[in-house]
Amino acid sequence: MGLLYQETTLSEKAVRGGFWVFAARIFDRLFGIISKVILARLLAPNDFGLMGIALLALGIFESFSKTGFQAALVQKKGRIDEYLDTAWTLQAIRGVVLFATLFFAAPFFGAFFKTPLAVNIVRVIGLAFLFENLTNIKVVLFSKELEFNKQFFYQISGTIANLVTAIFLAFTTRSVWALACGFLMGHFVRCIISYSIIAYRPRFKIDWDKGKELFNFGRWVFTSTILMFFASQGDDIFVGRIISATALGFYQMAYYISNTPATELAHVISTIAFPLYSKLQGEFKRLQRAFLIIVKLTALISFPLAGIIFMLAPDLIQIFLGEKWLPVITPIQILCIFGLLRANAATGGPLVLSLGKPKIQTVFSFIHIVILFSILYPLTVKYGIEGTSMAVVIAFAAIFIPGTIVNCRLIGVKFLKWLQHLISSAVGCLIMMGNIYVFKWRVFHGNIHWMALIGLILVGLLTYLITIIFLERKFIKNLREILREIKSQRF
């Protein structure tokens, strides 16, 4: 009876958590898209490039000082209250040190990117280190205890603050400071909200034994974070350094548009999967089943999103961003392939961490970086941001299959079985893309306005849905059974 009740609680929390995480990401990205469209109309690509340089500086310091404490607290079984004060104190010290260091290092970044205007922006947004690291450490329990309703409020409050501040200042100043101040306001509001929705108040206290225990897990997360930063931001660094801040603004916009939709589902599922997988440690049959269901659902949604972006990128840019952003079209089409791979690869990340094997993630991140940096420079120099986009896709594709094979072996799942869960989505996506092409050129004759764009998206999604219903009748039937099991308090 106790085990059944425990599974009941876990299942109910997972279901409720899924709703809140999904809602948070929907609102967060909806506000993000609204903000991007409005700001892209008001500001120049160079403004986005300057902010991009400042965020790169922030990211470098963040990655090289990552403690991995939050991941360690989530992964650790049992109560973690006795670790919280130590974790918060060390994080607070880290925030102060990072802000001071970045303030004095700002001229270096201005010189490195040959953009003196970025110096003051780097210094100001360094305040985000203070706000983020002084945030109530118990926000980690939102994930640990699957309390995603609180995480929703915490996340969205900062997003709204960022949106309102940035848009207001963009209308009044028409400068990069709109982006910088919006970014800071988001972090500040989240810090305040973390103390208003959590009764716990951290104390300045360091237990070195507890800190060492957390760091023993976090060290691999720390190493992996550094490698993942260069794997994900190395392309930005090359574009900003080798080409220009304006090119960086174009490239980052292309990356945002191409990757955001395809990776949103992966982020939602990963947020839920890590604590859920952690609770299923040692129960391989249940873990295998949960993993394959997540793989299937991720593929079913990420494939059509990537396909729609690939086919309609020229029309999306022309209608929503305007002619000054036309150089991002080809990079978007290339990078949406990366977004698709990344979305499906993300299903394995929480699995590795939940099994307490972050070293695997670190090794693959290192291999990824070696491949990426070996081809990034020549392709960027020769083809510009299109070459950068190609390098990103090639490097990630090279580790995608080997990484997936390793993840599957960890829980005894055959690679071919994993692959079978993607085939229907891929076939449905190709049929959908073909139908969009036919309607675009045979029905609308290439003359796409916003009503035609909506029509093409609906035609594509309907085509995909019909194809999936035909190809996946068995899974849809099983999916109903899965939902019934969850409602009846079993996973």
Confidence at residue 263, expressed as pLDDT on a 0 to 100 scale: 66
Gap between the Cα atoms of 396 and 392, Å rounded: 6
Kindly tell me the burial class for residue 235, based on how many C-beta atoms sit within 10 Å of its own C-beta (0-12, 13-18, 19 or more).
Answer: buried
The number of residues making up the chain comes to 491
Give pLDDT tens digits along the chain (491 positions). Answer: 444 344 445 555 555 666 676 677 778 878 888 899 999 999 999 999 999 999 999 988 887 777 667 766 766 666 777 778 888 888 889 899 999 999 999 999 999 999 999 999 999 999 999 999 888 888 877 766 666 777 788 889 999 999 999 999 999 999 999 999 999 999 999 999 999 888 888 888 787 777 677 776 666 666 667 777 887 888 999 999 999 999 999 999 999 999 887 667 666 666 666 666 666 666 777 778 778 888 888 899 899 999 999 999 999 999 999 889 999 999 999 999 999 998 888 887 777 777 777 778 778 888 988 999 999 999 999 999 999 999 999 999 999 999 999 988 888 888 999 999 899 999 999 999 999 999 999 888 888 888 999 999 999 999 999 999 999 887 777 776 665 554 443 44
Position 174 scores a pLDDT of 92
Q: What is the DSSP string of 148-198?
A: HHHHHHHHHHHHHHHHHHHHHHHHHH-STHHHHHHHHHHHHHHHHHHHHS-
Task: Give the end-to-end CA distance of the chain in Å, rounded to a whole number.
Answer: 16
Could you tell me which of 449, 115, 399, 436 has the C-alpha nearest to residue 305?
A: 436
> Quick one: which of 396, 397, 395, 399 has its CA closest to 376?
395
Residue ranges per structural domain of the chain: 24-222, 244-491
Q: What is the pLDDT of residue 91?
A: 86
- 3-class secondary-structure state, position 283: coil
pTM of the model: 0.81
Structure tokens at 273: 């999967």
The pLDDT assigned to 6 comes to 44
Say which residues have a Cβ less than 8 Å from residue 209's Cβ, sequence separation at least 6: none
Q: Which two tokens stand for residue 290?
A: 């949960």
Dist CA 355 CA 339 (whole Å): 25
pLDDT of residue 198: 83
